[in-house]
Amino acid sequence: MQISPDTPPFFTGDPVGWHGTTILCVRRAGAVAMAGDGQVSLGQTVVKGNARKVRRIGPGSTVLAGFAGATADAFTLLERLEAKLERFPNQLERACVELAKDWRTDRYLRRLEAMMAVADRDRSFTLTGNGDVLEPEDGIIAIGSGGNFALAAARALIEVPDLTAEQVARRAMKIAADICIYTNHNVIVETIA
């Protein structure tokens, strides 16, 4: 397959585009849970099965962050977001907007291939390299190759009255891992009550 000069930078030679993880954030009854699978894929090969793609960041570790995409790029973005959180403590939205501005305009950051989901006690956002800072209206975020599967499952499970945010996240991630070949069942969940 030949790649033309007009091909977007994230194109890997496979018609599906880039893939490799599932991150899910669920907000319910004053709690937020962020889950991520542990699979790292290189093409059609599983390189690692227990990667940690969900972390606590920021002063006091009060922010949950999950990433999908190139690992080194994601760590660069996590470091930048953490610096923004130190500059704007307790202002997650402002820190995200400032990072998105830098990500879109900085020559180095613009080339990074990743997406992030971030959440604190009050708000959740999806950040992209296009300058997007998106807040879901239903409190559920899903990114990565299995994101749509996890999102659909979480939206259905959120209707079950007795489930906590963490239970919804775990069950939805299991469904996504059963469907998406780039997502495994080794799930790490971080929560804020």
> Is 21 labeled as catalytic in the residue annotation?
yes
Q: Which two tokens stand for residue 28?
A: 């319910």
* Catalytic residue (one of 21, 22, 126, 183): 21
Rounded-to-integer distance, Cα 110 and Cα 106, Å:
6
Question: What interhelical angle do 147-157 and 165-179 show, nearest 10?
Answer: 140
Which positions are catalytic?
21
